[in-house]
Amino acid sequence: MPDSHDATLVEVVLHVQTLVSNRAPPNAVYDAVVDGALRLMHGVGGSLRLVDLEDPSWMVAVATRGFAGAGERWRRRAPISEGVSGRVISTGQTVVIENYASADVGSQLAPPHLKSLIGVPLHERGRMIGSLVVGWPVAGRLITETEKALLKSYSEHVCAALSVATASNAMIQAYTDSLTGLGNRALLLDRLEHELVRADRGGESVTVLFLDLDRFKLVNDSLGHLIGDQLLMAVAERLRRCIREGDVCTRLGGDEFAVLLADTSDPAAVAERIIKSLRSRFQIGEHEVFVSASVGIASGREEADILLRNADVAMYHAKRAGADRYARFKPSMHAARLSRPGLDTELRLAVERGEFELHYQPIFELNTGRIAALEALLRWHHPARGLVAPLEFIPVAEETGLILEIGRWVLTQACSQFAAWWREIPLAISINVSVAELQTAGYTAAAEQAIAGAFPPSALIFELTETARLQDARGAMATLHSIKDLGSRVALDDFGTGYSSLLNLSHIPVDLLKIPRPFIEAAGRGGHDTSSLLAGILGLGRHLGLMTVGEGIERPQEHALLVDLGCDLGQGFLLGRPLDAVHTTELLMTEHAKFQPRRA
């Protein structure tokens, strides 16, 4: 039925075109090209391989679908003398294989469960740029002329739409590590961001492994860079064999690699597999080389760079614990890196160079879904290390006293930004303060000055964490009382963990209780004890006349539970991530339009 085929052809081509015009990441476009071919041809597996611009005797698989089980055959880069793809590219012809097992195609690249295959060439302006292959699980499948014509027609449309040759090859280059053929850091960050968006929708987390070879420098220094490079290529090859379809394996530079896992159920098993496979001897020319690797694992839904840094920090821990092992990231690990010499100098410079920025996370009224407040969260754009999370540098800033200067910056910056927003939509803003800041003379006066009459002081909330130290911290309690006199509000952050305990509630003037993620996560997972603990904390808050805020809401069931238990406010990745000022403005504008329709 040519009509129904035509309809599908238009549909799938349109889908690819839409992705291209929406500037979807190249990998999403490549995947869509293969998916489209599978839909058109009712195939179960397929690949898109493009000729390597730098070396046209090689091709690079930019997308594969249904390739699980390809095992050792799977190679991202392969010479064009191999496989059905290679045959298509080297002959420029459509290739039909009705019995793959006995086909003479050099080495086989596709998994053995694909038994019949068809491959068509991709041309751009007469030049061969790659191949598109589709396979079926039955041998001897008769591939009709109509089907051949359909796939050819699809590939032509796709080429024209993509202008694949120039654009995509440039993309491949921009996303490929030229030494190993693995993806590079740009690819990793791109895919990470992609996964984070997906994770947000499904309430899942994303897992990344950070791998660093042990003693690589020794090999490089003693055997020379050439051997070092060959070793890195061989390591890349072993890594490829340890990962699954859908995982993204990249080299970040030097002897550092990272893997983004598609299946996050057992990252430790993947780490172990990698570590084990690297332990066995490498034969590089006439040299026998032994290396091992230290791997850090980080899971979560933090921003891409932060997640990657967390995995890096965990890797560093694995190394310090004796190398040749893996470690999972824990926030407390940051502390071990803190004493790193030079960080305090860098922090000092950061203030001068204006490397700080505030992001804002919306806090929602749980029963209406409206935004009630924004929490200002500090970010440090380190010139070499990228985005650094506050848990990594706030403790150092506190130790060195730099927190006073930084905190003052946060206060003025948050207030002046907030003044502009408040005019449009009257919310509250909360900022995090350290106890040391409260001990400085004139803190409340500085706050009043920062508000500068632009919004009522009651819209400003101060979040405190280390409440246990408050009583001993000279002057801090007095400052808290003067903050209250001013009309501003105080929140107990991370209530119930570490230092901020129930006892403190009677001594400290508090308006809000912030309940940290661990309580909410545990309760969200079910279990009577954990949800009654959460219900108890919320009941206590109500009893004392405090507003309650659930933090770190990542999953729909956590959100539902908090609504059920009558928690007043909530924040978390599920509801809204911390955003920079520009994106926060956009968010507030949408919010404004939603709830306060402009009067005609």
CB of 597 to ligand C2E, least distance (A): 30
Burial class (CB in 10 A: 0-12, 13-18, 19+), 469: middle
432 binds ligand C2E (CB under 6 A): yes
- Among residues 393, 295, 318, 281, which one has the least CA distance to residue 348? 393
Answer whether 111's CB lies under 8 Å from 70's CB. Answer: yes
CA distance 416 to 320: 44
Choice between 213 and 394, CB closer to ligand C2E: 394
Question: Which position has the token pair 């001068």?
Answer: 352
Closest CA to 276 of 263, 258, 295: 295
228 — phi, psi (to 5°)? Answer: -55, -45
Q: Would you say 64 and 28 are in contact if contact means Cβ atoms under 8 Å apart?
A: no
Task: Please identify which residue in 168, 434, 531, 548 interacts with ligand C2E, judged by CB under 6 A.
Answer: 434
- Letter for the amino acid at 200? D
Residue 417 interaction partner, one of ligand C2E, Mg ion, none, beta carbon < 5-8 Å per kind: none
DSSP string, 72-113: GG--SEEETTSHHHHHHHHH-S-EEES-GGG--SSS--S-TT
Q: Which residues, in sequence order, are CB contacts of 54 under 8 Å at separation 6+?
A: 173, 178
Cα–Cα distance measured from residue 163 to residue 50, given in angstroms and rounded to the nearest whole number: 13
The CB density around residue 292, as the number of other CB atoms within 10 Å, is 15
Cα(570)–Cα(114) distance, integer angstroms: 50
Whichever of 307 and 565 has its CB closer to ligand C2E, that residue is 307
Q: Tokens at residue 232, please?
A: 């890195």
From the list 225-233, 257-265, 552-560, 581-589, the region that binds ligand C2E by CB under 6 A is 552-560
By a kind-dependent CB cut-off of 5 to 8 A, residue 517 interacts, out of ligand C2E, Mg ion, none, with ligand C2E
Nearer to Mg ion, 303 or 551 (CB): 551
The SS3 of residue 207 is strand
* Least Cβ distance, residue 193 to ligand C2E (angstroms): 16
Quick one: what does residue 436 bind among ligand C2E, Mg ion, none, with the CB cut-off 5 to 8 Å set by partner type? none
Residue 234: what are its φ and ψ, rounded to 5°? -65, -35
Cβ atoms of 232 and 255 closer than 8 Å: yes
CB 409 to ligand C2E: min, Å: 9
Task: Give the distance from CA 29 to its chain's centroid.
Answer: 19
Q: Which of 578, 584, 588, 591 binds ligand C2E (CB under 6 A)?
A: 578
Q: Is 566 in the site for ligand C2E (CB under 6 A)?
A: no
Task: Tell me the closest approach of the beta carbon of residue 56 to Mg ion, in angstroms.
Answer: 55
* Residue among 146, 75, 569 nearest 361 (CA): 569
Q: How far is the CB of 301 from ligand C2E (least distance, A)?
A: 6
Closer to ligand C2E by Cβ: residue 212 or 493:
493
Residues 382-421 binding ligand C2E (CB under 6 A) are 389-391, 394, 407, 410
With CA atoms as reference, report the closest residue to 379 among 399, 394, 363, 400. 394
Residue choice 124, 147, 494, 591 for contact with ligand C2E (CB under 6 A): 494
Q: Among 261, 553, 561, 565, which residue sits at the site for ligand C2E (rule: CB under 6 A)?
A: 553
12 binds, among Mg ion, ligand C2E, none (CB under 5 to 8 A by kind): none
550 binds ligand C2E per the rule CB under 6 A: no
The contact mask relative to ligand C2E for 310-349 (x = CB under 6 A, - = no) is ----------------------------------------
Question: 205 contacts which partner out of ligand C2E, Mg ion, none, CB within 5 to 8 A by kind?
Answer: none
The total of other beta-carbon atoms located within 10 Å of residue 507's CB is 12
For ligand C2E, which stretch binds (CB under 6 A), given 91-99, 142-150, 308-316, 572-580?
572-580
Which residues are paired to 404 by β-bridges? none
Binder of residue 467, out of Mg ion, ligand C2E, none (CB less than 5 to 8 A by kind): none
Least distance to ligand C2E, CB of residue 391, Å: 5
- Give least dist CB 502 to Mg ion, A: 17
State the binding partner of 300 from ligand C2E, Mg ion, none, CB within 5 to 8 A by kind.
ligand C2E
Binding site for Mg ion (CB under 5 A): 432, 463, 493-494, 514, 551
Residues 6 or more apart whose CB falls under 8 angstroms from that of 271 comprise 209, 295, 297, 326
Q: 70 or 377, CB closer to Mg ion?
A: 377
CA distances, 172 to each of 26, 184, 237, 245, 591 (Å): 8, 10, 19, 18, 39
Residues in region 268-297 near ligand C2E by CB under 6 A: none
Sheet holding 77-79, edge to edge: 77-79, 58-65, 45-51, 127-136, 116-124, 95-97
Contact mark string toward ligand C2E, 343..362, x via CB under 6 A: ------------------x-
- Residue 378 binds which entry of Mg ion, ligand C2E, none, with Cβ cut-offs from 5 to 8 Å by kind? ligand C2E
Size of the site for ligand C2E (CB under 6 A): 27
Nearest to 508 by CA among 492, 485, 486: 492
463 binds ligand C2E (CB under 6 A): yes
Retrieve residue 178's tokens.
């030229």
Rounded to an integer, what distance in angstroms lies between the CA atom of residue 395 and that of residue 466? 12
Scanning 97-105, 174-182, 183-191, 430-438 for contacts with ligand C2E by CB under 6 A, the matching segment is 430-438
- Token reading at 120: 């068509």
At its nearest, how many Å lie between Mg ion and the CB of residue 461?
9
User: To which H or E segment does residue 235 belong?
Assistant: helix 225-242
For position 465 contacting ligand C2E by CB under 6 A, the verdict is: yes
Indicate the pairing of strand 569-570 with strand 547-550: parallel
Using the contact rule CB under 6 A, the part of the chain among 69-77, 219-227, 428-436, 500-508 near ligand C2E is 428-436
In the list 141, 317, 517, 559, the residue contacting ligand C2E (rule: CB under 6 A) is 517
Among 305, 554, 568, 591, binds ligand C2E (CB under 6 A): 554
**64 lies in the binding site for ligand C2E (CB under 6 A):** no
Q: Tell whether residue 378 is a contact of ligand C2E (CB under 6 A).
A: yes
| Interface with ligand C2E, residue 176, by CB under 6 A | no
Residues that bind ligand C2E (CB under 6 A): 300-301, 361, 377-378, 389-391, 394, 407, 410, 432-434, 463, 465, 493-494, 517, 551-554, 571-573, 578
